[in-house]
Amino acid sequence: MIWLLDLDNTLVSRDAAFAAWADSAVTADGGTAADLAAIVAADDGGFSPKADVARELIARLGWVDDVPAAIDRFRAGIREHVRAYDGVLADLDALRAAGDQVAVVTNGVSHQQRGKIAACGVEASVDAVVVSGEEGVEKPDPAIVEIALERLGASAVDRDQVWMVGDAGHADVAVGRAAGVRTGWVSHGRAWDDVHGAAPDVVGATTRDVLALATAGEHAAS
């Protein structure tokens, strides 16, 4: 079995890292609870344009009007606060010990995604890392799945033997569906939005739940 996993909010707590950093920045710069709420909302789980988040920080906290510097500042804050979810890397180790292959497939700029991977020790638990900013293609374009499979030496594998797991319906589930592989959605307690199409093959509140359900299903079918 091959497991392709998203990074942010799937293997590592990106949103919690941003919120923790934003809280410290608001406190340091004399902001209010309303400022914090507006900054977190502007981030939109990492999916807003980074320049928009930077402008919100500049407006709310009185930073120097330098968008690239503000982006660098909050990205550094995320890297400082990010953590792998408890137990998830051990689960990846167990999958690999059982003979499966595991790769990270993440959207984002190289230095930021690689920085989070390094900070959380993810690379030791996977066989490959594919970062959109290094490849010139990003989820939901299925070409990024093909790159990951090629990196694993598995381009010809039966797609029923491949899982794409992530928390974003419009990116992770969509790219898995477009690539013809099986899909696992990390809901974090949310309901599936039909705007993203048919429900994923497996849904779980956490990444560990998704992996456990998917693995149990594979064992039942074997």
**Residue range 142-156, pLDDT digits in tens:** 999 999 999 999 999
* CB 192, CB 199: distance < 8 Å: yes
The answer to whether residues 67 and 90 belong to one domain is no
Residue 109: C-alpha distances to residues 106, 112, 116, 131 (Å): 9, 6, 11, 7
Is pLDDT above 60 for 167?
yes
What tens digit of pLDDT does each residue of 58-82 get?
A: 999 999 999 999 999 999 999 999 9
Q: How far apart are CA 208 and CA 210, in angstroms?
A: 5
d(CA 196, CA 96): 31
For the chain, give the mean pLDDT. Answer: 96
Residues 6+ apart with CB under 8 A from 90: none
Q: Where does a domain end: 65, 81, 97?
A: 81
How many H-runs (helices) and E-runs (strands) does the chain carry? 10, 6
| 66 and 115 co-located in one domain | no
User: In the chain, what's the furthest Cα-to-Cα distance?
Assistant: 60
**pTM of the full structure:** 0.94
Tell me: do 26 and 113 sit in the same domain.
no
CA distance 46 to 74: 11
Q: Is the pLDDT of residue 176 over 60?
A: yes
- Here the tokens at position 167 are 């928390």
The range of the structural domain enclosing residue 44 comes to: 14-81
Q: What is the pLDDT of residues 119-141, one digit of tens each?
A: 999 999 999 999 999 999 999 99
pLDDT at 222 over 50: no
CB 145 within 8 A of CB 135: no
Q: Is the pLDDT of residue 85 over 50?
A: yes
Give CA angle at 202 (8, 179), nearest 5°.
Answer: 70
Q: What is the pLDDT of residue 217?
A: 76
Do 108 and 69 belong together in one domain? no
Counting the structural domains of the chain, the total is 2
Of 40, 61, 81, the domain-final residue: 81
Convert the pLDDT of each residue in 185-214 to its tens digit: 999 999 999 999 999 999 999 999 999 999
State whether 44 and 134 are in the same domain. no
